[in-house]
Amino acid sequence: MNLSLKFLFDNIDVSFLVLDPYDRIIKFNQIAQKYFLLSKKDLRHKKIHELFSNLDIENLKDFFLKNRLKIVKRTPGLRRNEKTGASISIVPLFDEKNAYSGSIVSCTDISDKLELINQGTKAREEFIKRTAQIAEERDKFYLVIENISDGVLLLDYDYNIILVNSSLEKIIGIDTKKLMGTHLKIYFKEIYYSELIRKKYYFQSEIIEITNQKEKSRKAVSVYMAPLITQRGESMNTVLTLRDITREKQIDDMKTQFVSNVSHELRTPLASIKGFTVTLLARKELSEQQKNKFLTIINNESDRLTRLVEDLLSLSRIESSSFRFQISEFSLVSMLEELKQEMEKLLMKKKLRLDIIIPAGIPPLIADRDMIFQLLLNLINNAIKLTKESTVILFSTIFRKKDKSFIFTIKDQGPGISRENIEKIFDKFFRVEDSVHIIPGTGLGLSIVKSIVEKHRGEINVRSRLGKGATFIVRIPQGRISEEEET
């Protein structure tokens, strides 16, 4: 080897090893000693496999005889230190007779690169982990969005729908798949043209009425708008949350209606009391007979006021959320005797007969006694009030084993109820027009009855035809309440 070549050979940052045909080291350069941390003596005649930890070719001669033109390129580990690595290429040597005479191994240290590779692997693993995390978070996000009861609408900058949840379908009555990608004004025009959107009232809500396409009904929806800056911050999306408040609004309207009805009902008798009192005071010349007539009106009107206030109090007590049952066990027979006594005067006045049929051995009721009393009183009272003279009112009861319920039936031979009115008689303040002026009442009696039945988890039904009398059938489950109260 010429000198300058030897110089280069020793000073280049590549380890060279010359192997004999049996893979043993016969020549090497200086850098190889440093690299493998072996003395000249130790390096010579060592087999190549003793230097590298995972060189996959066991016998180079065999390999090169099969693959004459191949150069082996490998990146094995080094036995001296597992954290190091080498990039090697092995070139076969053939003599003039084409016989295999050994090989040259050139070997570069790639330990620092190995670290980079490892870091790369780590970064890649980190990336995969993070992606999985993001996917999981996204899934969780969708799961939450999917499962909240409010409808959710995600809009892009131009108000195109880019995400919806299934709760929205209940509100708008359109398949959510159909909504995706459409412009807000197509299916939600009431929202699109609302103040909320037009004036971009972010972080605020507005009550908007929309049409449910499936039910063909109007729904009151509280729409909340919030901005959503996309991750890169370059454009802004909008999130709308839709809460169906139709029911709440109905209840609210009903309350308002009720208050206005009550005021109206109270004002009528008050106005009449006031009017006749003023007349009595101002017109001293009135005859005794006229005075009596006016006083009677005042008396009747104050009775009506008292009834109204009493009924209103009963109703609000029963319907209040803090209502508590006073549960006791009591016999029906004694309760009906009490009831009959209370009605005696009225019955006599109209020459009516109240027949009561209670089978012997009927079990006692476990319920709120005052309430059941009021329930039967109101029903029997209606029957007495509305029926012609000299007829029979029939009260009967049975205990039905099948569903452990008491069935009360109150049957009269009165005017009956038209089909049209039958649905309305349980409404607050509803009274059938013809009887309004003749028969005293508040229109609250049956509302109270209905509330009591509902509180006892029972049912009430009416069978009646105009002119054919009426039958009210009430079912009250036995002891149902007491069980619930205890738990």
Ligand X SMILES: Nc1ncnc2c1ncn2[C@@H]1O[C@H](COP(=O)(O)OP(=O)(O)O)[C@@H](O)[C@H]1O
Q: Which of residues 176-215 bind Mg ion (CB under 5 A)?
A: none
Stretch near ligand X under the rule CB under 6 A, chosen from 156-164, 183-191, 323-331, 408-416: 408-416
CB of 335 to ligand X, least distance (A): 20
Binding status of residue 445 toward Mg ion by CB under 5 A: yes
What contacts 344, CB < 8 A, 6 or more positions away?
none
- Is 413 a binding residue for ligand X by CB under 6 A? The answer is no
Of these partners, ligand X, Mg ion, none, which one is at the site of residue 312 (CB under 5 to 8 Å by kind)?
none
Stretch that binds ligand X, among 4-12, 36-44, 337-345, 377-385 (CB under 6 A): 377-385
Nearer Cβ to ligand X, position 38 or 444?
444
C-beta of 393: minimal distance to ligand X in Å? 9
Interface pattern 422-451 for ligand X (x via CB under 6 A) = ---x----xxx--x-----xxxxxxx----
Our finding on whether 414 is near ligand X (CB under 6 A) is yes
Report how many residues bind ligand X under the rule CB under 6 A: 22
Q: Which does 102 bind (CB under 5 to 8 A by kind): ligand X, Mg ion, none?
A: none
User: CB of 149: closest distance to ligand X in angstroms?
Assistant: 36
Q: Which does 150 bind (CB under 5 to 8 A by kind): ligand X, Mg ion, none?
A: none
203 phi and psi angles, rounded to 5 deg: 60, 30
Q: How far is CA 444 from CA 179, 255, 271, 311, 429, in A?
A: 47, 15, 21, 6, 5
Residue closer to ligand X, measured from CB, 86 or 417: 417
Q: Return the one option of Mg ion, ligand X, none that residue 432 interacts with (CB less than 5 to 8 A, by type).
A: ligand X
* Residue selected from 383, 453, 474, 476 as contacting ligand X according to rule CB under 6 A: 383
Q: Report, in Å, the least distance between residue 337 CB and ligand X.
A: 22
Q: Which is nearer to Mg ion, 276 or 472 (CB)?
A: 472
The window from 51-59, 73-81, 261-269, 375-383 that contacts ligand X (CB under 6 A) reads 375-383
Whole-number minimum distance, CB 176 to Mg ion, in Å?
49
**Contact pick of 241, 382, 451, 478 for Mg ion (by CB under 5 A):** 382
- Contact with ligand X (CB under 6 A) among 184, 273, 367, 386: 386
Interface ranges with ligand X (CB under 6 A): 378, 382-383, 386, 412, 414-417, 425, 430-432, 435, 441-447, 470
Interface ranges with Mg ion (CB under 5 A): 382, 445
